[in-house]
């Protein structure tokens, strides 16, 4: 049965309004799913209860693992590459939750098949795990004292292959510098829980050969960063 034109027009306006609201929302639960709310609530609770960062991250492992094991909560659009990405190579970085004070974020990182991130740091504690596909991670150790902000001497600390449901911790300065490559036939999707607003803070891109360090902000594919003062 065909709908009258005025009903179709109204439905189209409602759909546009909903989409526009989602696009304009930059903080809070950009994806409002029970699984995400549960992880954020647990993170807030453990942050208040456990002052030691390493112990806190360890305590968060069961809750983070539960999110990775769950199906159906990640919207299709947030598991696809982004050709306009600030990371380059079609890498999409989609905010799922952002605290307005910059103290916590959860996002998906989509890396096309065969693509890799630049060597970069995170500057916050957190957990990173693979939700879809297969990734190769190369972690670097910094050999210099970090006093020169434009130069760094790096050596490979370890390499590992990370499968669906597997994850690792970030405890800066330990293991904070790495790059990740998708080694599956399709794009890989990893989920990042970090104690800053990762895509909007000024981080560092490293060239392991020349030692050159460049400041950068990757930005989110679906949310805006605040203007820099």
For residue 170, pLDDT over 60 is answered with yes
**Residue range 139-154, pLDDT digits in tens:** 999 999 988 989 999 9
Q: Which residues contact 123 (CB under 8 A, 6 or more apart)?
A: 172, 176, 196, 201, 203
What confidence tens digit (pLDDT) does each residue in 10-27 have? 333 333 233 333 445 799
Confidence at 164, pLDDT banded by 50, 70, 90: very high
Among the listed residues 96, 124, 103, the one whose alpha carbon sits nearest the alpha carbon of residue 35: 96
* % of the chain surpassing 70 pLDDT: 88
For the domain spanning 30-216, the CATH number is: 2.60.120.10
What is the rounded CA–CA span in Å between residue 193 and residue 92? 16
The pTM assigned to this predicted structure is 0.86
Residues 6+ apart with CB under 8 A from 222: 23, 30, 77, 78, 94, 95
Report the pLDDT averaged over residues 65-76: 96
């Amino acid at each position: 049965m065909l709908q009258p034109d005025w009903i179709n027009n109204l439905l189209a306006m409602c759909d546009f309004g909903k989409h526009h609201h989602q696009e304009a929302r930059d903080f809070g639960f950009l994806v409002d799913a029970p699984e995400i709310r549960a992880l954020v609530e647990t993170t807030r609770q453990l942050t208040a209860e456990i002052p030691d960062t390493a112990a806190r991250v360890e305590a968060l492992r069961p809750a983070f693992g539960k999110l990775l094991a769950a199906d159906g909560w990640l919207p299709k659009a947030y598991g696809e590459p982004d050709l306009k990405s600030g990371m380059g190579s079609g890498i999409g970085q989609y905010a799922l939750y952002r605290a307005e004070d910059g103290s916590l974020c959860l996002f998906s990182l989509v890396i096309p098949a065969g693509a890799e991130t630049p060597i970069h740091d995170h500057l916050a504690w957190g957990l990173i795990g693979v939700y879809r596909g297969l990734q190769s991670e190369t972690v670097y150790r910094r050999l210099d004292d970090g006093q020169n902000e434009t130069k760094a001497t790096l050596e490979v600390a370890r390499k590992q292959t990370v499968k669906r449901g597997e994850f690792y911790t970030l405890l800066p300065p330990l293991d904070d510098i790495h790059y990740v490559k998708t080694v599956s036939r399709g794009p890989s999707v990893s989920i990042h829980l970090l104690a800053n607003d990762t895509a909007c803070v000024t981080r560092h891109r490293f060239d392991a050969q020349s030692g050159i360090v460049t400041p950068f902000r990757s930005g989110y594919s679906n949310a805006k960063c605040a203007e820099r003062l």
